[in-house]
Amino acid sequence: MRRGSAPSQLVRRPARPDTECMSREREHAHPVFAQVYRLVAAAGERGGFAQVRASVLADASGRLLILGLGPGHDLAHLPAAVTSVVAVEPDPSMRALARGRVTACPVPVTLLSADAHALPLADGSVDAVLCACVLCSVAQPPRALAELRRLLVSGGRLLLLEHVAAPPGHWVGRLQQLLQPVWGRAAGGCSVRRDTWGAVAAAGFDVTAVRTAMVWPNLPPVAPTVLGTAVNR
Ligand SMILES: C[S@@+](CC[C@H](N)C(=O)[O-])C[C@H]1O[C@@H](n2cnc3c(N)ncnc32)[C@H](O)[C@@H]1O
């Protein structure tokens, strides 16, 4: 299969492709943030985040969905057990930044413009999903997580690498509360105040192996970080 072409048995066609696609692209277009994030993500890779990404991705195998691909750094850390990737990215600027890494990826990658709330993929069509710094940005995490459960096979793995809210009363939590109004506008709708562990557990995943830690180089306000593998039971 050519890179960038969608396998027909996997991808469902939207009802009104042109209108849906245009309004989604408008809603998710953050060209300035994409350029800032390009620099931040590249610096993060050099500063130790590459190893963190690789350790989270080590649990992936088979057909992997990457939600919110961004500039695509995760594609450089896929374990050999991953056989194909569907990468979802609604922001056209981010997709443009990811193209080189999509082309260089050693396994077939299908890059889709789609929204986490309504993914054009068939039930039980993926073995693993990666959410890296994306559940902070989706508008309705419970709806997105319900979609991920639908797409995952039973026993499928949800790999998490997400910055979350600090515990109540902690100084980092107060900093997050203070910065959130400006941060959300500047960083493409990102929230630094999400309880992602709680949301994933509430969605019905087994979160026994998911931990919360301070992970270098994620610094406040984008700390602490939830990382590990949740299981679709
Ligand atoms: C901070 S970037 C992280 C990119 C990448 N996952 C990484 O780890 O570098 C967040 C990404 O999530 C994407 N995103 C935001 N809302 C989304 C949604 N509703 N569905 C899918 N992706 C979304 C953004 O376009 C952006 O590329």
Find the CATH number of the domain harbouring 28. 3.40.50.150
Backbone φ, ψ for residue 160 (5° rounding): -115, 135
- 90-137 residue pLDDT tens: 999 999 999 999 999 999 999 999 999 999 999 999 999 999 999 999
For ligand 1, is residue 73 a contact (CB within 6 Å)? Answer: yes
Ligand 1 contacts CB of residue 45 (under 6 A): no
Q: What is the pLDDT of residue 200?
A: 98
d(Cα 44, Cα 40) in Å, to the nearest integer? 6
pLDDT at res. 131: 98
- Identify the pLDDT of residue 1: 41
Please state the atom number of ligand 1 nearest to the C-alpha of residue 91: 25
Q: Is residue 2 part of a domain?
A: no
Instruction: Pick out the chain residues at pLDDT < 50.
Output: 1-2, 4-9
The identity of residue 38, as a single letter, is R
Q: Is residue 3 part of a domain?
A: no
In a domain, 1, yes or no: no
* Domain span including residue 137: 8-232
- Is residue 21 situated within a structural domain? yes
Structural domain tally of the chain?
1
Rounded CA separation 162/8 (Å) = 31
Strands 109-112, 82-88: pairing is parallel
User: How far apart are the CA of 155 and the centre of ligand 1, in A?
Assistant: 25
pLDDT for res 16:
59
